[in-house]
């Protein structure tokens, strides 16, 4: 029997602690043979044939240990998911599924079989359970005893819609379609979620227990899920938020505010997104702004690039430029498609700040981001966590340059703020957008009556209500 001290001393990179309860109750026969099991090149097939969920957990843990065992090639993904037949998800073939089924694997901790007549609510339950626990796979079109029956009611689009509409928040998932003996079946991969609890549209929260999915009623388990969510929020904050600008004598006296925007995205194929980043020529970014911007600074920092804008002119108006960029007017783009940017606002001698610079800068950042990721986001995007914040250092009067955004005048009043209200700044109701986080996913897009396409997704990632400061609709 493992003790807490022994468990903490094992070189398992913290993964064993995820399975603490199960491992503390290991049968003696399993404990006595752990060394034999984890040194055995056929652990995968052995684990498949075992009915004990503890074995599946050992398999899961071992598959995540970065050790070189002769005859066992661990093809690790950048996730904690157990691979099917030791095959990377992107390389998964029908032969791997057949191997899985041929070795008499039954429904277990990581696998759930569903036939074609499975109801939407049933999938909601299983997906919620996997996302709230350690992830897993649903084989849709397969009987409980592992026979491929095929699907006629289901297709990839329907599966996507059921997940998007049935689980809140949207979990990390992917779907693959396979053919065998003229029958179509699907494998749905659900990752362990970073934003639990994952709640079904029926208002229930599930967890994976043995080979089934059970509703969570224990308050301590719910508390653990919320703790995991808080941990992720801290990690997210460190990733996509900038540290605040501290007031000092070194600051320009006309710096009045700054806008921060950041987002972390999740896609079904993150490797595709990362490969697009690695293949992109960041040295070509200055070519995107030949006529409007000088200079452009591109800096590589690990697996991210920081692009700093110099004097940027909107191509629709003359003499509209951004100030010099010593105060962090830049965007950082990361290998996983995440990004964060900061736009500084300055005042003129009258205390006025041209907030059209927010839109001008965001359009430039968006142009850069599109050139890197757009082709790999369409039909791949799941959701994004987005952060935005306006920080006001000293009071200012927002206004738009009259000559700017001619095509937007139809959506704005004829009188911008200053001509109509002079120096009387009015902020009431929802005129000041909220600071903080929100989720951008299919449901969010539908609420805006916008299509779920890469163009609209990227537009919303870089959109902000702060561009309307100073306007009265």
Report pLDDT for 469. Answer: 76
Cite the residue boundaries of each domain of the chain with CATH code 3.30.950.30. 4-231
More confident residue, 33 or 280: 280
Residue 470 has pLDDT above 60, yes or no: yes
What is the DSSP secondary-structure string of 339-352?
EEEEEEEEB-TTSE
Instruction: Give the Cα separation of 310 and 45 in Å (integer).
Output: 58
User: Which CATH number is 4-231's, of 3.30.70.600, 3.30.950.30, 3.30.1280.10, 3.40.1280.10?
Assistant: 3.30.950.30
Residue 68 has pLDDT above 60, yes or no: no
Strand-strand pairing, 206-209 and 212-215:
antiparallel
Using a 10 angstrom Cβ sphere, with 0-12 exposed, 13-18 middle and 19 or more buried, the burial of residue 165 is middle
Residue 309 has pLDDT above 90, yes or no: no
Residue 331 has pLDDT above 90, yes or no: yes
Mean pLDDT of 321-335: 70
Strand-strand pairing, 352-354 and 397-399:
parallel
CA 214 to chain centre: 26
What pTM does this model have?
A: 0.69
Around Cβ 322, how many Cβ atoms within 10 Å? 21
Confidence of residue 197 (pLDDT cuts 50, 70, 90): very high
Confidence of residue 24 (pLDDT cuts 50, 70, 90): very low
Report pLDDT for 70. Answer: 30
Report pLDDT for 407. Answer: 41
337 contact partners, CB below 8 Å, separation of at least 6:
265, 267, 270, 273, 277, 373, 377
442 contact partners, CB below 8 Å, separation of at least 6:
164, 165, 170, 383, 452
Around Cβ 73, how many Cβ atoms within 10 Å? 10
Instruction: Give the Cα separation of 342 and 334 in Å (integer).
Output: 15
Number of H helices, E strands in the chain: 16, 17
The model's pLDDT over 359-400, given as tens digits with 9 standing for 90+, comes to: 888 988 999 999 999 988 988 899 999 999 999 888 888 877
Instruction: Give the Cα separation of 295 and 312 in Å (integer).
Output: 9
Give the lowest-confidence range in 12-21, 90-99, 259-268, 319-328: 12-21
The answer to whether 441 and 164 have CB atoms below 8 angstroms apart is yes
Confidence of residue 55 (pLDDT cuts 50, 70, 90): very low
More confident residue, 147 or 355: 147
The model's pLDDT over 111-154, given as tens digits with 9 standing for 90+, comes to: 999 999 999 999 999 999 999 999 999 999 999 989 999 999 99
- Number of C-alpha atoms within 13 angstroms, CB side, residue 92? 25
**For all residues of the chain together, what is the average pLDDT?**
75
Residue 22 has pLDDT above 50, yes or no: no
Instruction: Give the Cα separation of 39 and 388 in Å (integer).
Output: 49
Report pLDDT for 255. Answer: 86
Instruction: Give the Cα separation of 259 and 241 in Å (integer).
Output: 11
Instruction: Give the Cα separation of 359 and 379 in Å (integer).
Output: 27
Residue 35 has pLDDT above 50, yes or no: no
Mean pLDDT of 177-197: 93
More confident residue, 337 or 109: 337
More confident residue, 355 or 243: 243
More confident residue, 263 or 233: 263
Residue 173 has pLDDT above 80, yes or no: yes
Residue 343 has pLDDT above 70, yes or no: yes
State the Cα angle at 344 between 343 and 345, rounded to 5°: 125
Mean pLDDT of 198-204: 93
Confidence of residue 218 (pLDDT cuts 50, 70, 90): confident
Instruction: Give the Cα separation of 255 and 253 in Å (integer).
Output: 6
Confidence of residue 415 (pLDDT cuts 50, 70, 90): very low
Report pLDDT for 292. Answer: 61
Residue 322 has pLDDT above 60, yes or no: no
């Amino acid at each position: 029997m493992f003790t807490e001290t022994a468990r903490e001393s094992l070189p398992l990179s913290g993964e064993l602690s995820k399975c603490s309860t199960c491992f503390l109750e290991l049968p003696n026969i399993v404990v006595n043979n752990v060394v034999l099991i984890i040194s055995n090149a056929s652990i995968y097939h052995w684990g498949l044939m075992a009915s004990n969920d503890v074995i599946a957990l050992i398999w899961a843990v071992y598959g995540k240990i970065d050790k070189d065992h002769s005859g066992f090639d661990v093809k690790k993904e950048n996730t904690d998911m157990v691979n099917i037949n030791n095959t990377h998800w992107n390389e998964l073939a029908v032969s791997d599924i057949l191997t899985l089924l041929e070795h008499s694997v039954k429904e277990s901790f990581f696998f759930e079989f569903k036939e074609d007549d499975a109801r939407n609510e049933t999938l909601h339950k299983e997906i919620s359970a996997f996302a709230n626990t350690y992830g897993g796979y649903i084989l849709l079109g397969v009987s409980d005893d592992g026979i491929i029956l095929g699907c006629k009611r289901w297709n990839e689009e329907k599966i996507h819609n059921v997940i998007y509409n049935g689980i809140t928040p949207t979990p990390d998932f992917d779907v693959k379609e396979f053919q065998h003996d003229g029958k179509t079946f699907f494998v749905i991969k659900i990752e362990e979620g970073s934003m639990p609890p994952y709640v079904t549209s029926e208002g229930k929260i599930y967890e994976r227990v043995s080979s089934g999915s059970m509703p969570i009623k224990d308050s301590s388990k719910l508390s653990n899920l919320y703790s995991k969510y808080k941990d992720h929020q801290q990690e997210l904050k460190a990733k996509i938020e900038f540290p605040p600008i501290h007031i000092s004598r070194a600051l320009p006296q006309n710096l009045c505010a700054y806008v921060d925007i950041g987002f972390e995205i999740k896609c079904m194929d993150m490797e595709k997104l990362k490969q697009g980043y690695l293949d992109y020529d960041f040295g070509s970014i200055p070519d995107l702004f030949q006529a409007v911007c000088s200079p452009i600074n591109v800096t590589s920092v690990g697996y991210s690039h920081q692009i700093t804008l110099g004097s940027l002119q909107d191509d629709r108006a003359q003499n509209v430029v951004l100030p010099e960029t010593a105060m962090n007017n830049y965007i950082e783009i990361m290998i996983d498609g995440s990004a964060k940017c900061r736009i500084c606002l300055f005042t003129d001698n009258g205390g006025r700040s041209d907030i059209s610079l927010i839109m001008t800068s965001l359009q430039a950042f968006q142009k850069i981001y599109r050139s890197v990721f757009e082709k790999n986001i369409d039909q791949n995007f799941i959701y994004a966590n987005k952060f935005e914040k306006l920080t006001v250092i000293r009071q200012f009067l927002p206004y738009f340059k009259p000559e700017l955004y001619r095509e937007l005048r139809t959506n704005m009043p004829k009188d911008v703020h200053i001509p109509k209200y002079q120096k009387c700044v009015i902020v009431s109701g929802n005129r000041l957008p909220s600071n903080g986080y929100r989720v951008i996913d299919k449901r969010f897009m539908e609420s805006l009556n916008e299509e779920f396409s890469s163009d609209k997704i990227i537009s919303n990632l870089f959109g902000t209500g702060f561009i309307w400061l100073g306007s009265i609709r």
